[in-house]
Structure 1
């Protein structure tokens, strides 16, 4: 039998009924001594109500539902609301028909989402590197191997994941390109089989995919590029930046590694971080993205592996967890602008003056892009006209 003062008793009684139960007398017919109320209060609240939870004999919900002891009227308290369940993260697929609309959404999101993770899917390595172990090759050799593959193949997907400074409110976009043609373009058969197994429909990409020229025009106008407030994250990001820059400049990558890194700075700024490089300083962290994420306790919450949108989101969650767990919530400047396998003298990039001259390249489709004048191709056309702002039009 439950005591009338037990916290599990939920029956609501009046004050006089409580008096009758505690004193064993009839509260309606007997005169109560002056100090009866004080004795009853101390019996119900042995600590005088000054310490411990403020439990009420009328309910097991703390002080909610307490009655006014003078009027026997329940005190109305606002109902407690349950915590809202966080909405699941959805990877937004982008095709040619919704490309402009989705870039408009990205431009609006940039007001509060300043951390961006980048990932790409491509047809694999068609020209194997001289050595499978990247650490045994010089940065220049790694770059030439990457350049050779990027120049010879075409991008399939590009993923962008955005979040705020706390790693919350994540937004993910997956751009599906039409450039790659399985019937005519070079590819690694094992890579294409893996991508098909993960759900990429190459025929749909050819029919509904994005024209990379339109992508370049819209991403330049979105506010993502040349924005010093944005921090970029990748995992082993040489190829991710390689394909991105190839799209942006509309031509093959430069032969010189320093010129390539100059393009990275030109378009993406100085706040560029590669997780693969950062984990060199972390004991127990090694391997690919999935293995590093698992070691940090990061789960894939949307999509499947080897799809650019899902991988970019996992990259974003991993670098935020890595920052908080291993680097005290800070992005260390020593990791800035160091892409794994393409390590260069960062002081030359950080202290180099801005490119004094700019070339404005007119893509088909009236897309005007600016690239450093020093990267002018050997054959750039019969005439080069100086622009009104110190640039050069090709």
Structure 2
């Protein structure tokens, strides 16, 4: 949204040319209870991400935002359709928003895989959240000044979300969520938690030959080719950024995610009592050598731990892709050059490892994120 009364139009574009030994990103993550989505194989040229957005502000109290996005050949989807009211509260500010948006989780969690300095969605974000967590809901933000008590507390978000997108389900109550941001000196920390009670959370049966799809199967229409989950899910995350005390512009960034599921897992092969935890994270070391040149290293890991109890446990584990559970790793290095402030060119090398299997990859990327395309103020 523009900072003063007016209309602003913006856009973003990320293009990639990638090579890898095998399909990249990996078609499936073994041992992970996921949304069953098969990602598109991005070897060769691909539209990594495109967005078009418009923000409107009326006076000092009201604003609106609409953002559309698309990936490669996928259909256009709404990333944000948000109405917001703002008011001063002493030296602080209260913001009440309603509509569709990313859940507030902090810069590192929200930005991971979203016009990022690395080409692919972080493993932990893909496994725990199914990618960017975009949902419908209402959220109240307390934006604090650093005066008064608790000077480290910068932001507090309290929201209730419809929870129809993964890790939510097709049915079930709305999900409460909270986020806080603390900053002191060269450190900043974001913490997030959400409690969901998904019902009829459907996913496609895992298969090495499954076609790319973003469809969410409906468990009420039959169980052919799908598995479903009813129960309780808890999502927790934390991220820490530290500007290192050196003369060089060095930053260390760490993010972690955890999802705990408890309930019933079922398919055409029966049902079972299910308990599982999926967790992981990533660590970045970033060196901004100059305003134009940057280098970054990233290490990632994710793993799922599952317990299924019934006579049908083996068949259900096979349907849900839980067999062959192993820790999954990724290491990558990225170099960037910015010929203009809004345009960045990236060269990336990395490797994915699942057990004894490795998949080496490389990517050249162009990322264009201008401040705005057009603006009109009155």
TM-score if structure 1 supplies the norm length?
0.20
Structure with greater helix percent: 1
Structure with greater strand percent: 2
